[in-house]
Structures are given as structure tokens and as C-alpha cells.
Structure 1
Amino acid sequence: MSKSTPTKLILDVDTGTDDAVAIMLAALHPDLDLRACTVVNGNAPVTYCTDNTLRVLANIGKPDIPVYMGAHKPLARPDFPVPRDPNKPKALHGLTLDLPATDVAHRPLHAARFLAEEFARHGDELTLVAVGPLTNLALAIGLDPAFVRNVRRLVIMGGGHHVANTTPAAEFNFWADPEAAAVVLNAGFADVTIVPLDATHQALVTYDDCAQLLAAGTPAALAAELFIRQRIDVHEASEKMPVPGSAPVHDALCIGALIDPSVITTTPVHVDVETTGALTVGRSVMDVHRRGNRAPNCAVAFEADRARFIDILVTTLARR
């Protein structure tokens, strides 16, 4: 049964394959009201991520949801800690998603400015979900320090305690712009939930789950099946998951947890991000043993309910 009043949210993305699934869940579930997407440099350069976001929304019949393009580089660095070749995208995502092009354009306002202004006007009504590098959020804080108190609820996909995916120490979103992540986590937001790799690797999606999406046959389900199967193929070739024939769909778990909070189990923890370590830049330092004498600043999801997440994923994307 749907809520009488859907949760209004803004989704900050760097649209590759898992962002695409998150966007579709947020746009299609009746308990959510996706008001806008803001886009940041991340899985691909921001122009490609923006185009991918527009393609995803058009493909599911939601081209009216506005899209705002944001930061094209990290907050304080000219590029990632290890600069990427812009012509060699991450294998999981590619530069352009395999969806039809659209003539819908992004809005002219910079994403950080939109975030600052929108939450100044409507912060009491909105949840902010950030599933890419946190550059746009850090820029919004710089534009308007009141942004921190205007955002009443913030959900972040990023970091990892026992699990990393970009270096031996770091998850991609925090590693891609560690200074922005440090700014956001130390800004004093009142209600922050972090969904790290520890949780997303417990909510693995399998080839069998993809078969359910394929059978559903909706534009959203077919797109999700394609993207998730691509993710599984890459993981099967490079990084074996504990469940054979599976892969995490990180960003979508954040949306699943908005729909049903029981999808994740959280623990209050103080979290910061390493910005200078030669071996650990971008690592999320999660003080699970309270050794740093700093009060918790986040609720961190260390556990996830795979079965519940898959049910939400399949039933939502199969909706006609």
C-alpha cells in the first residue's frame, strides 16, 4: 500500500548503470516523488552523465523531471587523485548508456545553485539523495552555508568499512572527490544516512533476478535488466562476488531504503574521509569502536536485506 503523501526527493547522480536503476526506482515508485536530478562528474565526464540522466528519464516516460548539470571536476583538485583518461570510461558504465537519445535538454542553472536555492525554499519538504561524488553538495555549502540546515535529511551512497572498490582502501564516490566528501561529512547536517559498500555487497542482484526483469517487459525493467546484466558480466570477469552470477547495484539500494527503511540496518558512527594519505586517500574512516572521541555524525548501513530489496526492485520496475 502506498503512502498517502509520497516522499519528495532530489537525486544527485553521476549517471552510469547503477545510477540509472536508482533514477528509475525513484521516478516510478508511488511512495516517492522525484522532483529533480542534479548531475556531477563521476562515472563519466559530467556532460555524458547529464545526457545519460536525460535518456533514462525519457525512456521511462518521465522527460518532464528537470535535470541540472553541475560540477565538471572535483572541488579542490584538477582531476581525480589518479587522473582518468576521458576516452577510457569505467567498464561498468561506459560513456553513453545504451538507451535512445533524447532532444530534451538540461536546465541552464548550475546544479549547485539549484540545490542551494531549492532547499532554501522547500527544504522542509525534501530529502536529498546523493549517489555520486559529493562535489555539488560541497559547492552548494560554499554558495549558501545555510544549505546545511536547510537539508533536513541527507542519504549518501559512498564509502566502505570492510569493502573497497577503487583502491585497496577506498570506494569510488569518496575517492573521486575526497575533499568534497570531507566537507560534506564535517558540515553538520542534522540527519545523514550513509549506505556504503558493506551494505550494497549484501544486496547483490543475480542473473536470475535479471530474468524476472526481462519477463516483466516494461521499458524500465528491460533497461534495468540490460544494465545489471552488464554489471554482473564485468564482475564475473574481474571480481568474484560471494554469490555466483551477481553484482551490487549500489545506488539503487539507497532508493530501496527510502521506500522501505527495513531494507537496511544502520548504526550511529562518526565518519570522516582521508584526503592526504598516499595509500588511503578517499578512504572513509568509520569509527565503529568510538576511539576518536567524536560524536556520531551519520547512521551507517552495515547490513541490507537482499530479498526485500530485490522485491522492491522487480515490482517497481515492472509497474505499467
Structure 2
Amino acid sequence: MKKLILDVDTGTDDAVAVMLAALHPDLDLVGVTTVNGNAEVQYCTENTLRVLDVIGRSTIPVFEGLAKPFARPDFPVPRRKDDLTDKIHGKYLDLPPATSRKQEAGAVEFLIETYRDATDPITLVPVAPLSNIAAAITLHPKLVEMIPHLVIMGGGHLHGNVTPSAEFNIWADPEAANVVFSAGFERITLVPLDATHKALVTRDDCAAFRALGTPAGDATATVVEHRIGVHDKIQRMEIAHSAPVHDALCVAHLIQPDVITTEPHPVAIETQGALTVGRTVIDVRRRGTDARLVNVAFDADARSFVDLMLNTFGQKHG
């Protein structure tokens, strides 16, 4: 059984990632940390607790993290009236209010103590702005040697979704992302928009999730149908009535590695460009001098991704 920690800003796609990590029998979700991102951190924490309550996994601990970016004081910046992030997530998920409670310890403290005391490998899966991770490794630099594998949802090579150049998670805290990508981790897998836009979930898939008759199936249908409705209005996908469920693809990769296809490339983060702040500079032609390689996903198998979630969410979990 593979141990992992999820770092989230729950959110609709984070919700599906949490359910997949919590329910798949091959995974042991050690804990969930939350961070400012899709909404203010207190909403992200409440939404995470709601998801775990709905699927009967309230015993998985949730630790609230940074309420602001690692270094930048001006986030969130004013957004356009048609901003996708606000519309696709909102403040609260359409799930019953949580009855469970967050842990007293903070996310950064939990990360440091958990990895310092770990006797088994624990994969870290940040699918949100990287503020918590940057803070943790700044306070305890040896974490870089203790974390065996980072699987990050973020960035884009051909795609941006909050600006023409940048994906939201990296744009929301580019200094934190720069700290993480330049820290010297032995193994990083990056799952950018290039891959998640290949793993689209359709309205027909949502009907199949709802037909499972399980709490996870119903919850997945609810949040993904909402995503599809917003994408249809603001950012229509190549397949009609579909949407990416970005964060869950990272968890799926831990279960079924070939659900994505990766290539090794250097990756750097732009922190200063007026037009390109938050861009992940993926050096596919090796024009830079950075020799550190990141496993970057440019493709994904949508059918395998959906089938994996259907199989997992269709099980009767005790």
C-alpha cells in the first residue's frame, strides 16, 4: 500500500482527488493539508472536511496551512468578471456542512514532523499553490532528502488558464513554486494542463458516476457536472460537455502510472515577467543550462482515468 499526503485548496477537482486517494485500496492517505488558493484557506479546509465526511473517511486528519502566498502580498489580485476560478469552485462545495474538525496542528508543522518521523516512503502530492511546501522546506531543508517523490498538479506548456502564460496553481504563488522546483528534490512529476486537458470527463461519465449509487459516485457527479457547466460557458473543451478534473489525475498516476505519459525536461518558474509571471518554463529543446530534470506529463488516457474512478467509487466501502 502506497502512503501519500495530499496538499489541496479544495475546490471541485481537489474534491475528486481527495475521494480517490481516500478510497482506493492501494493507497494510504496519511493526511490532507490545505492552503489558500481556489478560495481562502478556511473554505478549502471546510470543503475538505465535507468531502471526507460524505465518503465516511472522517478519521483522515486535515491540517490547515498558509492563508497567504509564501512571499507575495498582493494575491488574490482583482480578477475579471468572467474569471473561471471563482465560478468553477465558489466558496463552499455543494455538499453537507462538515461535522468533523480540522487538527490543531498546522499544515507546515504536520509536514515537517511526519516526514521527520517516517519509517516508510510517503509520496507528497501538492495539487494547489505550493505555499505550504515552500514554507516547510525553508524551515526544515532536510525535507528535500526525506520526500521520495513529489507529484505536482500545476503549470502548462501550451496552455494557461488564469493568464495566457500561466496555470492557476503556479501563478497564485510563483515564488513558492520557484523554491520547490529549485530545491533539489530527487524526483518530481509535474502534471500540467497539457495532460489534464487530455483526460476530460463528460456529462455521460457523470451519469455513470451517479448510477453507481454510492456517496463518492454522487459527490463526483455533483462537482464535475458543475465544472462542465462553467467550462461550457467560459472555456469550452475540445469534447462537447466535458471538463478536466486536474487534481485527480495526479492521484490516478500513483495507482496506475501509465494513465499519464511523461518526458524528462528541465522546468523553471517565471517570477518577474509582466506578461509571464507564474509561467512554467519547460525546456523541451534544452536551450537552458539547468540539468535538473522533471518528469513532465504531456498526455493522458482519459478512458483509463474515468474507468479507474468508476471502479474505485463503485465499491461499497466500509
**Both structures adopt the same fold (TM-score exceeding 0.5):** yes
- Matching of residue 38 in structure 1 with residue 33 in structure 2: yes
- Matching of residue 155 in structure 1 with residue 151 in structure 2: yes
Residue 218 of structure 2: aligned partner: 222
Residue 14 of structure 1: aligned partner: 9
Deviation at 1:82, TM superposition (A): 2.4
Mapped to 1, the partners of 2:314 and 2:41 lie a distance apart of 29
Map 1:84-99 → 2, pairs under 5 A: 90-99=86-95
- Matching of residue 27 in structure 1 with residue 22 in structure 2: yes
Residue 254 of structure 2: aligned partner: 258
Residue 116 of structure 1: aligned partner: 112
Mapped to 2, the partners of 1:83 and 1:104 lie a distance apart of 33
User: Contact between 2:121 and 2:147, CA under 8 Å: does it hold in 1?
Assistant: no
Mapped to 1, the partners of 2:165 and 2:234 lie a distance apart of 18
Mapped to 2, the partners of 1:83 and 1:303 lie a distance apart of 33
Mapped to 1, the partners of 2:302 and 2:79 lie a distance apart of 33
**Other structure's SS at 1:90 match:** helix
Residue 77 of structure 1: aligned partner: 72
Mapped to 2, the partners of 1:234 and 1:265 lie a distance apart of 28
Of 236, 239, 243, the match for 2:239: 243
**Other structure's SS at 2:221 match:** helix
Deviation at 1:238, TM superposition (A): 0.8
Over residues 40-93 of structure 1, what are the superposed CA-to-partner deviations in whole Å (9 max), with x where a residue is unaligned? 0000000000000001001100000000000000011123262469xx971001
Residue 277 of structure 1: aligned partner: 273
- Give the partner amino acid of 1:11: L
Residue 96 of structure 2: aligned partner: 100
**Other structure's SS at 1:26 match:** helix
**Other structure's SS at 2:176 match:** helix
Mapped to 2, the partners of 1:138 and 1:112 lie a distance apart of 9
- Give the partner amino acid of 1:41: N
Calculate the aligned-residue CA RMSD, in Å: 1.3
Residue 3 of structure 1: aligned partner: none
Mapped to 1, the partners of 2:207 and 2:101 lie a distance apart of 33
Mapped to 2, the partners of 1:204 and 1:222 lie a distance apart of 18
Consecutive unaligned residues in structure 1, runs of 5 or more: 1-5
User: Contact between 1:264 and 1:301, CA under 8 Å: does it hold in 2?
Assistant: yes
Over residues 259-298 of structure 1, what are the superposed CA-to-partner deviations in whole Å (9 max), with x where a residue is unaligned? 1001011111111111000000000000001000221331
Mapped to 1, the partners of 2:157 and 2:17 lie a distance apart of 22
**Other structure's SS at 2:185 match:** coil
Pair 83,75 (structure 1): closer, same or farther in 2 beyond 3 Å? farther
Over residues 105-145 of structure 1, what are the superposed CA-to-partner deviations in whole Å (9 max), with x where a residue is unaligned? 11111101110111111164211000000000000011100
Residue 201 of structure 1: aligned partner: 197
- Matching of residue 142 in structure 1 with residue 138 in structure 2: yes
**Other structure's SS at 1:11 match:** strand
**Other structure's SS at 2:89 match:** coil
User: Contact between 1:185 and 1:271, CA under 8 Å: does it hold in 2?
Assistant: yes
Percent identity of equivalent pairs: 57
Mapped to 2, the partners of 1:139 and 1:84 lie a distance apart of 26
TM-score, normalised by the number of residues in structure 1: 0.95
Of 125, 139, 163, the match for 2:121: 125
Mapped to 2, the partners of 1:298 and 1:80 lie a distance apart of 27
User: Contact between 1:266 and 1:303, CA under 8 Å: does it hold in 2?
Assistant: yes
Deviation at 1:103, TM superposition (A): 2.6
Consecutive unaligned residues in structure 2, runs of 5 or more: none
Mapped to 1, the partners of 2:220 and 2:34 lie a distance apart of 20
**Other structure's SS at 2:295 match:** strand
Mapped to 2, the partners of 1:32 and 1:295 lie a distance apart of 32
Of 304, 307, 311, the match for 1:308: 304
- Give the partner amino acid of 1:12: D
TM-score, normalised by the number of residues in structure 2: 0.96
- Matching of residue 50 in structure 1 with residue 38 in structure 2: no
User: Contact between 1:7 and 1:32, CA under 8 Å: does it hold in 2?
Assistant: yes
Of 141, 160, 164, the match for 1:164: 160
User: Contact between 1:123 and 1:150, CA under 8 Å: does it hold in 2?
Assistant: no
Of 42, 57, 60, the match for 1:62: 57
User: Contact between 2:10 and 2:48, CA under 8 Å: does it hold in 1?
Assistant: yes
